[in-house]
Every structure is written in structure tokens, then in C-alpha cells.
């Protein structure tokens, strides 16, 4: 397994085509805006080498028998599913942000199921091809960017009827040695911190949309791939010098638009090509895995609760009954989210390929709660923190000889706490609920792994209402 230092060095070997603020980024690793997100991924490598975290962070490969990073592992039993949730909470608490490897892990597991099922129906060779690729990822300990979300264009039209046919990623040419694809994937978390990209369909496909039913893997620096970095609130604070105003001074996340401009994919890296009837299955299984992965928000919630409690103490109001009650409510909401991710793992099942999958109904219920509870957690944290969280002058004003005395005099609350420490904890709450980390904690909670309506649709499909009706009728004597 790679160390954090080896991971960083491996990124330096890539030749990525990255743009940000209209300019080419020549050095992605050391760019001050991107660097915190790389640090978060590096944490997944660092913890894997610590004996106290070995059980959660590593596993034994079912292919080679070698010990591997859990982010490259295929779930072999219920225990693996549970450890995945616990690992997500651990890393969320350690980084206070998105650590970017869950999508790749969930993609690998979904493909281990769907490629097997596709081969059984069509006699294709996707599954052995996938296993060869999987062994490569495991042995090299690579970060995989799972790329599902297309720009989608006109939301009321299917892919083949779009005014711009590239609104969904598609096969534009089939050759003897592979395929050529064109299109883009949006909202790609951690894309430029990845060694590999696996592109998947974003929705169920009909026969007319067969060209869009494509799944493949490529090195992240393959010819024809361009990354355009997304903006985040307060992102340029990282360029100002100092650290206080950043809130989270160590870690962060990033998203990018990934453009595939007539990119060639060799056949040995193609895992679906026009098998449109399996596109929906891949989307559904990947989404279930990824909705379980929002255990990470529980870990970030731990950080937010800790920050809110600290802010109350720094403000001198920690003993107020309403503040204590709000902290209890925050813990209640956060632990309820934890119940959901553990439940869908505990109720998992074995698929024909041997991979264990989560309970899809409970995974969707869990993620649906995630679209709500972090927002209430954030509201309560902001309530406890007070308005100074968003009206604080800058760190430079705290350091300036002309203004420092007034900052020290008027922004100190608890005499046992320095003004700087109070400012730091308030900036962290701002970062988590309004700033760059809010992308990973709030917006991602709402839209990541599908927006709320996607979960409601799956809940309606998976829940057995007829059985509930039979139970009710039986108890009251209605003839069934």
C-alpha cells in the first residue's frame, strides 16, 4: 500500500490538463486552492498505515490475498459493509471535509456486480476484464474517480433527443481496438487528485439511447481529457496568506467539470458498451452504495458539534439550558444518520458475483435523511455561534498594529480564551456551514448521490406497501 508521501509523489508524475480561473494550472499538487483537497485524500493513505486503524482502513483482497487499502476492496461480507460506514465516519471526523475516495470504491463494487450480470445474459467478457483492472487498482493502491453525473442539457428530453447530443457522454466511434467517446462529467469530486477515472451512465437507458450506455476506465491524464475546476465560496482566502480565515486550515475538497473530447478507450478498459438494459442496474446499485457512503457526513457532523460546543464555551454561554438542548439535538440528529448507514450495511445481501450489497431501501432512507439533517445541524451551530461568525474582520486586521488592539479588546468574550482562538472556532463553523467545506457538507448532502427526489423514487419502488396493507386488514378483520 502507498504511503501519504508516495501518493503525493504519484500525483506529481501525472500530466493533467487542468484549468482554473481561465488559466492552465501547471502544478496541481502545490496549488494553494487545490492542495487542501489533496491533503484530505492523503489522509486515507496515512491512516491505513496506523496499527490502531488497520481493521477499518485495510482489508485482504479476495483476488490476491494481499492486504490492501479498503477503498480498493470488494465487499465480501456484512462486516465489510459495516466497516465501510465506520471508516467513512472516522475520515469525516479526521478531515472535516470530503476525502474523495468513496465514489471510486462504490464504482468498483457496483461494477463487480453488474459486469457479472451482463456476462451471464449476453456472454460478454466484461467481468474477467473488470477483475484484471481491479487487481491493477488494488496492487497500485490507486485513487479512482467514479464519474456518473452528465451535464444532462434539457432535463425534459432523453439523451438521444438532446439539442446537443454531447449533453450525455456517448460512444461516437467503435473501432477494432476500442471505442471513441465524447461528452463530459460534471461535479466530479476529487477529480484532479485521482489516478484513474471510471465513467458510467447517469440514468436508465432505452434502445434509442444505446450509444450512451457506456462504462469505461482511463488514466486520469489520458489524451483528450480536460479538467475545469469549480469555484467554491471563500476559495480565494487560501491565497491571502495566514490561515485563520480559512477555518479548516488543513483539509478541503474540490469539484471539476471533466471533458472527454474524442477520447480513445481500448477494449480492455471497456465494461459496458451499448448494453442499455444494464445501465439502470448500474446506476441503482452504485447509487445505493454511494448513499451508504454518506456516513462521512456523520464524521463531519462530529466536527461541527465539537465546534458548536467550543463556541458556546468561548462565548461564555455553555451552561445556558437552551444551548445545552441544542447540542443534544445536534447529537440526536447526527447519531440518527449513523443509525441509517449502519442499518443498510447490516441488512446487506450477497449478489450472484459474490459481492455484498447494502439494503437498497435503507440506503435510500439514510441518504434522504442526509438531505435534511446536516442543514438543521448547521442552523443550530450558527445559532450557537452568533452573528460574529459572518461579520468578523480578517486575520490581517488581527495582526495589524493599527487595529489589533481593538480586535483584542472588543472580540474577547471568555477572559480565559484568547481572541484568536475564538476567531478560529467561529471561522471553522463558517467554513463548515457557509464556506468551502459547505460544498462537501451541505450541497453535497443535498445533491450528492442523487437529489432528494431520486431517493423518494427508490423508496417508493422498494417499499412493500401491499404487505403493509395485508397486515392492517388482517388485524381489523377485512377480508383479504
CB contact at 8 A, 380 and 433 = no
pTM for this model (two decimals): 0.96
In this structure, what DSSP letter does residue 353 have?
T
pLDDT digits (tens, 9 = 90+) for 62-78: 999 999 999 999 999 99
CB 120 within 8 A of CB 276: no
Q: How far apart are CA 336 and CA 373, in angstroms?
A: 9
Bridge partners of residue 58, in order along the sequence: 69
Mean pLDDT score, 376-397: 97
Whether 15 contacts 221, CB under 8 Å: yes
DSSP per-residue string spanning 189-216: TTGGG-SEEEE--SS---GGGGGG-EEE
Q: Which three cell numbers stand for residue 217?
A: 476506465
DSSP symbol at 224 = T
- The structural domains of the chain, with segments of one domain joined by +, span 291-463
pLDDT at 438 (0 to 100): 85
Domain range 291-463, CATH architecture: Up-down Bundle (1.20)
115-136 pLDDT tens trace: 999 999 999 999 999 999 999 9
CA distance 388 to 234: 17
Annotated active-site positions, please?
98, 102, 189, 255, 290, 294, 296, 444
The answer to whether the beta carbons of residues 165 and 217 sit under 8 Å apart is no
If we measure between CA atoms, which residue out of 186, 180, 197 comes closest to residue 262? 180
**pLDDT tens track for 233-272:** 999 999 999 999 999 999 999 999 999 999 999 999 999 9
DSSP annotation of 166 = G
pLDDT of residue 366: 97
Q: Which three cell numbers stand for residue 288?
A: 445505493
Residue 217, Cβ density class (10 Å: 0-12 exposed, 13-18 middle, ≥19 buried): buried
Amino acid at each position: 500500500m502507498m504511503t501519504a508521501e508516495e501518493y503525493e509523489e504519484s500525483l506529481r508524475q501525472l500530466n493533467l490538463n487542468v484549468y482554473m480561473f481561465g488559466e492552465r494550472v501547471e502544478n496541481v499538487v502545490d496549488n494553494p486552492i487545490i492542495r487542501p483537497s489533496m491533503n484530505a485524500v492523503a489522509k486515507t493513505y496515512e491512516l491505513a498505515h496506523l496499527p490502531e486503524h488497520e481493521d477499518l482502513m485495510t482489508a485482504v483482497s479476495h483476488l490476491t490475498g494481499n492486504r490492501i487499502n479498503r477503498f480498493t476492496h470488494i465487499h465480501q461480507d456484512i462486516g465489510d459493509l459495516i466497516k465501510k460506514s465506520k471508516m467513512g465516519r472516522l475520515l469525516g471526523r479526521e478531515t472535516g471535509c470530503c476525502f474523495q475516495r468513496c465514489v471510486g470504491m462504490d464504482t468498483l463494487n457496483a461494477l463487480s456486480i453488474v459486469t457479472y450480470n451482463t456476462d451471464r445474459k449476453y456472454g460478454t467478457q466484461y467481468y474477467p476484464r473488470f477483475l484484471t483492472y481491479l487487481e491493477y487498482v488494488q496492487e497500485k493502491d490507486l485513487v479512482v474517480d467514479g464519474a456518473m453525473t452528465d451535464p444532462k442539457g434539457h432535463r425534459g428530453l432523453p439523451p438521444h433527443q438532446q439539442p446537443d447530443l454531447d449533453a450525455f457522454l456517448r460512444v461516437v466511434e467503435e473501432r477494432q481496438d476500442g471505442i471513441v467517446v465524447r461528452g463530459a462529467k460534471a461535479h466530479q469530486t476529487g477529480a484532479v487528485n485521482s489516478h484513474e477515472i471510471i465513467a458510467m451512465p447517469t440514468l436508465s437507458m432505452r434502445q434509442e439511447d444505446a450509444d450512451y450506455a457506456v462504462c469505461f476506465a482511463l488514466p486520469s491524464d489520458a489524451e483528450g481529457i480536460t479538467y475545469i475546476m469549480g469555484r467554491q465560496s471563500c476559495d480565494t482566502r487560501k491565497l491571502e496568506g495566514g490561515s485563520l480565515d480559512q477555518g479548516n486550515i488543513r483539509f478541503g475538497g474540490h469539484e471539476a467539470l471533466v471533458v472527454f473530447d474524442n477520447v480513445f478507450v481500448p477494449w480492455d478498459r471497456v465494461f459496458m458498451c451499448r448494453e442499455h438494459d444494464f445501465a439502470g442496474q448500474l446506476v441503482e446499485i452504485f447509487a445505493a452504495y454511494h448513499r451508504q457512503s454518506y456516513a462521512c457526513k456523520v464524521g463531519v457532523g462530529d466536527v461541527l458539534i465539537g465546534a458548536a460546543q467550543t463556541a458556546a464555551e468561548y462565548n461564555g454561554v455553555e451552561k445556558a439550558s437552551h444551548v445545552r438542548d441544542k447540542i443534544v439535538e445536534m447529537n440526536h440528529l447526527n447519531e440518527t444518520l449513523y443509525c441509517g448507514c449502519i442499518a443498510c450495511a447490516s441488512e446487506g445481501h450477497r449478489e450472484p458475483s459474490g459481492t455484498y450489497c447494502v439494503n437498497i431501501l435503507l440506503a435510500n432512507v439514510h441518504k434522504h435523511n442526509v438531505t435534511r439533517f446536516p442543514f438543521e445541524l448547521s442552523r443550530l451551530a450558527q445559532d450557537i455561534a452568533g452573528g460574529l461568525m459572518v461579520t468578523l474582520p480578517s486575520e490581517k486586521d488581527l495582526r495589524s498594529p493599527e487595529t489589533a488592539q481593538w480586535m483584542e479588546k472588543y472580540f474577547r468574550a471568555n477572559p480565559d480564551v484568547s481572541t484568536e482562538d475564538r476567531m478560529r472556532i467561529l471561522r471553522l463553523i463558517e467554513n463548515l456551514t457557509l464556506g468551502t467545506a459547505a460544498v462537501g457538507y451541505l450541497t453535497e448532502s443535498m445533491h450528492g448521490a442523487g437529489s432528494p427526489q431520486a431517493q423518494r423514487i427508490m423508496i417508493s419502488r422498494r417499499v412493500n406497501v401491499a404487505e403493509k396493507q395485508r397486515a392492517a386488514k388482517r388485524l381489523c378483520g377485512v377480508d383479504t
